Structure 1
Amino acid sequence: MSTGVRRRMGVEERRQQLIGVALDLFSRRSPDEVSIDEIAAAAGISRPLVYHYFPGKMSLYEAALQRASEELKARFTEPHEGPLGVRLLHVMGRFFEHVDEHGPGFSALMRGGPAVGSTTTNALIDSVRQAAYDQMLAHLGLADAPPRLELVIRSWISLAESTALIWLDGRRIPRAELELQLVHDFAALVAVSAAQDEGMADVLRAMLKDEPADGPFAELVGRLSALGS
């Protein structure tokens, strides 16, 4: 992501360029392995000029994580139209597309990378998880969640995150299979909770109400039925 030539930029334009360059490098290699010299060379500027805009690599790293978190949050946005299972499959497709394209950057964001334990990094991670949670509530048509549903949604978000991190270590399972599996996982978590709580049973009924015969949720029911036959 190199400019190739040096040219004058405004302060904010240069800052955004450096963030973009750093994010591109961090997306392909661990942030620990990327030096300020590499960032400067890729941006077509001198090392001292990088420090003019950012006090050090950590501040640039945190700015890159901020942009990465915003891009990741956008992956959870989906029109609230059509069967829920299909919507979630679209969301998982975009989520894993981001994970696939920005593996080291995604790992750095979720694991903290060089900034592990920092207030800034923790806040960014929490903001991504909260955005995913809010989107799930919206897809379910709810403004707030009772305790059992909150537990299910947050557990599922954690499962999607950990699944993606494990998958990055070798990509040994086809991506499309994991995307579908996570949609099935959400339905399964709701179903287990529905067996113990009538309110959750209502949530499950609403989820399945408009599910087409070839939808992800219907496919799960068919597969489970086949196992018992």
Structure 2
Amino acid sequence: MTSAASPAYRRLSVEERRGQLLEAALGLFAHRAPEDVSLDDVAEAAGVSRPLVYRYFPGGKQQLYEAALRSSADALNRCFDEPAEGPPTERLGRVLDRYLAFVEGHDAGFSALLRGGSVVATSRTATIVDEVRRAAAEQIFLHLGARRPGGRLAMAVRTWIAAVEAASLIWLDEDGRPPAGELRAWMVDHLVALLAASAASDPETAGVVRRLLAQERPGGPAADLARRLLPLADEAARLL
């Protein structure tokens, strides 16, 4: 009886092999803190030898981690891409849905990254994280129609980004509670409320809020927030 022919072996190109190793590392870093991942773990996950990992990443785990972090940062930046069409709060909701899906899929790695507790954290890794934050802020300014924001508006948006990061970490610690949809709605409300509060003392932010509201629809997130806040506004009116 003739045995079935074995599949032909194909030697991977340099880029293909590097990509294979990076994908294996990403899978490990996504769910384990960087200090808990060894080169032996990466080699085993990729089905190769440890020396081969060193051949493609001669800087060892530090170089591999930075490459994995850069790949994750690029993927996270893609979460922020959203056409400038439709109500701004609904655009933001779609971005946050993608962002929270990314956070959930990279739980331990995401936590170690933002908390800065990893033994492999360096100035280079910090720079990569800051680039993601800047990219997120630039996308928000773009959708708010403020390409060159003043100090108050810039501070409000960056404060919100910091709050989103903190909420994401708490959400992971709480095993995904509240549900992602509730957290996303709260984050959208938070930005609208923060901008509205800043608008009370900053003309630029006031103009941004007016443009934002002009694009919202009656049944959308901004309208729903306004409806829920009206009773509180009536209570506050007694203080005037």
Give the partner amino acid of 1:192: A
Mapping of residues 54-133 of structure 1, within 5 Å: 54-55=57-58, 56-112=60-116, 113-116=118-121, 118-133=122-137
Shift of 1:184: 0.6
Find the aligned partners of 1:167 and 1:7 in 2 and give their Cα distance: 44
Q: Quick check: which has more Rg, 1 or 2?
A: 2
Given that 2:88 and 2:212 are in contact with CA atoms closer than 8 Å, whether structure 1 keeps it comes out as yes
Shift of 1:114: 2.8
Find the aligned partners of 2:233 and 2:148 in 1 and give their Cα distance: 36
Q: Which residue of 2 aligns with 1:220?
A: 225
Find the aligned partners of 1:20 and 1:30 in 2 and give their Cα distance: 16
Give the partner amino acid of 1:197: D
Given that 1:129 and 1:157 are in contact with CA atoms closer than 8 Å, whether structure 2 keeps it comes out as yes
- Structure 1: 5+ residue runs without aligned partners? none
Give the partner amino acid of 1:131: A
Q: Percent identity?
A: 46
Q: 2:15 aligns with which of 6, 12, 16?
A: 12
> In the superposition, relative to structure 1, how do residues 195 and 165 fare at CA in structure 2: closer, same or farther (>3 Å)?
same
Deviations 1:15-74 (A, max 9, x none): 111111100111122222222112111111111111111121111111100100111111
TM-score (norm 1): 0.93
Would you say 1:177 and 2:182 are equivalent positions? yes
Shift of 1:228: 5.1
Would you say 1:49 and 2:47 are equivalent positions? no
Given that 2:84 and 2:143 are in contact with CA atoms closer than 8 Å, whether structure 1 keeps it comes out as yes
Find the aligned partners of 2:206 and 2:233 in 1 and give their Cα distance: 22
Q: 1:147 aligns with which of 122, 145, 151?
A: 151
Deviations 1:108-140 (A, max 9, x none): 332332322x12101101110010011011101
Give the partner amino acid of 2:189: H
Given that 2:192 and 2:222 are in contact with CA atoms closer than 8 Å, whether structure 1 keeps it comes out as yes
Give the partner amino acid of 2:138: D
Q: Which residue of 1 aligns with 2:162?
A: 158
Find the aligned partners of 2:33 and 2:10 in 1 and give their Cα distance: 29
Given that 1:21 and 1:43 are in contact with CA atoms closer than 8 Å, whether structure 2 keeps it comes out as yes
Find the aligned partners of 1:32 and 1:88 in 2 and give their Cα distance: 34
- Structure 2: 5+ residue runs without aligned partners? 1-7, 235-240
Higher mean alpha-carbon deviation, 167-176 vs 187-196, is at 167-176
Would you say 1:28 and 2:34 are equivalent positions? no
Deviations 1:132-175 (A, max 9, x none): 01101110122210111101111111111111011110223221
Find the aligned partners of 2:134 and 2:233 in 1 and give their Cα distance: 38
Given that 2:39 and 2:61 are in contact with CA atoms closer than 8 Å, whether structure 1 keeps it comes out as yes
SS of the counterpart of 2:119?
Answer: helix
Shift of 1:188: 0.7
Given that 2:43 and 2:50 are in contact with CA atoms closer than 8 Å, whether structure 1 keeps it comes out as yes
Q: CA RMSD in A?
A: 1.6
State the number of aligned residues. Answer: 224
